[in-house]
Amino acid sequence: MRMHPEPAYTHGQPARTGILWINLGTPEAPTPAALRRYLGQFLSDPRVVELPRALWWPILHGIILNVRPRKSAAKYATIWTPEGSPLKVWTERQAKLLQGLLGERGHHVTVRWAMRYGEPAIARELDALKTAGCTRILILPAYPQYCAATTASAFDEVWRWAGARRWVPELRFVNHYHDDAGYIAALAARVRAHWAEHGRPERLVMSFHGMPARTLQLGDPYHCECHKTGRLLAEALELPPGQAVVTFQSRFGRAKWLQPYTEPTLVELARQGVGRVDVVCPGFTADCIETLEEIDQEARAAFLAAGGRAFHYIPCLNDDLGWLRALADLAERHLAGWPTRTPHDPAAAEATRQRARALGATM
């Protein structure tokens, strides 16, 4: 196996702790070419599409990548901002604010962000953390609910990177935080703030990203963790039974996916005479194509066309300060035991360099 060259090392340099904040990914531009590259990487991941490659490859390269990029590019164009992809904008901002909050608490850590698909790539950002002197790295996914297709896929990429490095940093992984008290409190505060300004709905729909139904039977905890998040959020909001419902969006293909499905549920609610619904997407910590286009545009149109009178989309946590404080709390718990509060001691570093030179080191 060929190992990547190690970054230059200076004896006595302080050993730092790093955090890598990982989100799913986004195309670089709302164009068919950019979508073809992005979807090619995303849909080639066996964690995402669990079909034999001999069966899936002709479908992916012969049909999907020739048809879907243009349609997806048009959808991305409706949510694109002057700063770029909303997911990228929010993820970068969250990483910077997380580092600032941890710094205010006295932690000397370096926080970088990466995308599982697209740029900045996980391997590139891990290399950057190593070059910055990080010998301990906390892997922190932006997915509150564990899922093999998201969380485990990000971990796979970290281990692929580690497998090609001679000096592997000490690594820790955060699997999930679907029932974290701070995360639930931040979600509840987000919903309450919306209601304080716009009034309350007849139903609150909590829409999570969908997965094939078979993943539940195969042992993936995602379905259960989504329902627990939904239950805890409903309890925090003190909602009576039946006023909140958990649904699943973003189906792909003809197979049965986790149910109930979001858009058909909204249509049925409208047909039953429900005049106003509010939709929140607790599984997404940053607004993206699935929330801004699929929910706030497509699902809104479906509900209103079916007879609903008012549809409110409640934005994701994004750069909400309560959420970021909860994220800093979570990071602190997982950093426990690592010397993140130790300041750099120039005298001790120089003594280390002198001892190393005495043993023949040149740096």
The set of residues, in sequence order, having a beta carbon less than 8 Å from that of 284 and lying 6+ positions away, is 209, 290, 291, 316
**In whole angstroms, what separates CA 308 from the centre of its chain?**
31
**Residue 92 annotated in ligand binding:** no
> How far is residue 334's CA from residue 317's CA, in Å, rounded to a whole number?
21
- Pick from 198, 209, 210, 208: nearest CA to 278: 198
Classify each residue of 145-162 as buried b or exposed e, where b means 16 or more C-beta atoms within 10 Å of its C-beta: bbbbbbbbbbbbbbeebe
Cβ atoms of 202 and 254 within 8 Å: the answer is no
**Exposed/middle/buried for residue 323 (C-beta within 10 Å: 0-12, 13-18, 19+):** buried
**Exposed/middle/buried for residue 68 (C-beta within 10 Å: 0-12, 13-18, 19+):** middle
**Exposed/middle/buried for residue 167 (C-beta within 10 Å: 0-12, 13-18, 19+):** exposed
- Pick from 278, 327, 289, 20: nearest CA to 144: 327
User: Distances in Å between the alpha carbon of 200 and those of 132, 239, 269, 309?
Assistant: 49, 11, 16, 14
**Residue 11 annotated in ligand binding:** no
Binding-site sequence positions for Fe(2+)? 209, 290
